[in-house]
Structure 1
Amino acid sequence: MNDLIERLSVEGRSVVVGGPDPSLEELRKRVTDIGYVFVKFVDTRGGTDLGVRVDETATDLSRADFANGTGTAHIEGTLTLDYVKVRCVADIDLASLSGTGRLVKLEEARAV
């Protein structure tokens, strides 16, 4: 397995909301309307900002209060990183826009 993926597969890695405009409103819009979020793993050299296609069936917003900026959003989704299909699993505290996350390897994609 790829070294980066292996390191990010360890449970409890520090993450923050990533992307060009990391804000509570932007996170809400991306999770509920766009279906594509950015999750940044901060404890790599320079951080690793990943674009994740949100899996609506696995994502849980029942403990997230976007209106008041409180609670936790459980976000899951998929992406391909270095030809490897992975699932990103992250729990984001809305007050700080940070939390914990990890990658779960799904399958190796074949290079053409």
Structure 2
Amino acid sequence: MDELVQRLAEKDHPVTVGGAKPTLEELRKRIEEMEYVFIKFTGTRGGTDLGVKVDKSATDLEQADFERRTGDAHIEGTLTLNYVKVRCVADINLETLHGTGRLVILEEAHA
């Protein structure tokens, strides 16, 4: 098993909204329209910025008020990291664009 994937799956880690334009407006657009967000795990060497395909059925925006910039967005989605298929689970505070996240290992790809 890949060491980075295993470490990020062991417990919650600090995360922030990643990508080239980490703004609240960009996050909202990416969740609602593009269905692809960037979540950056900040506790790794240099940070690990992951592109996540949003799973709208598991993502919860009930506590998120984008207009008032308050509350938390619960974002879930899938990706492959270092040949391992994973689900990224993150809770992002809309005021700070920071939060906590972890990976859930779905399956390890075989070469």
Please tell me the TM-score bracket, short chain as reference.
over 0.9
The alpha carbon displacement at 1:57 in A equals 0.4
- One-letter identity of the residue aligned with 1:11: K
The equivalent of 1:90 in structure 2 is 90
Q: Flag structure 1 segments of 5+ consecutive residues without an equivalent.
A: none
Describe the SS at the equivalent of 2:104: strand
Runs of 4+ in 1 over 3 A off after TM superposition: none
Q: CA RMSD in A?
A: 0.6
Q: Flag structure 2 segments of 5+ consecutive residues without an equivalent.
A: none
- One-letter identity of the residue aligned with 2:97: L
The equivalent of 1:81 in structure 2 is 81
Equivalent residues, number: 111
Describe the SS at the equivalent of 1:9: helix
The equivalent of 2:68 in structure 1 is 68
1:67-108 CA-to-partner distances (Å, cap 9, x unmatched) read 111000000000001111000000000000000000000001
The equivalent of 2:34 in structure 1 is 34
- Map 1:92-107; keep pairs closer than 5 Å: 92-107=92-107
Describe the SS at the equivalent of 1:8: helix
Describe the SS at the equivalent of 2:53: strand
Identity of aligned residues (%): 66
TM-score, normalised by the number of residues in structure 2? 0.98
The alpha carbon displacement at 1:110 in A equals 2.3
- One-letter identity of the residue aligned with 2:85: K
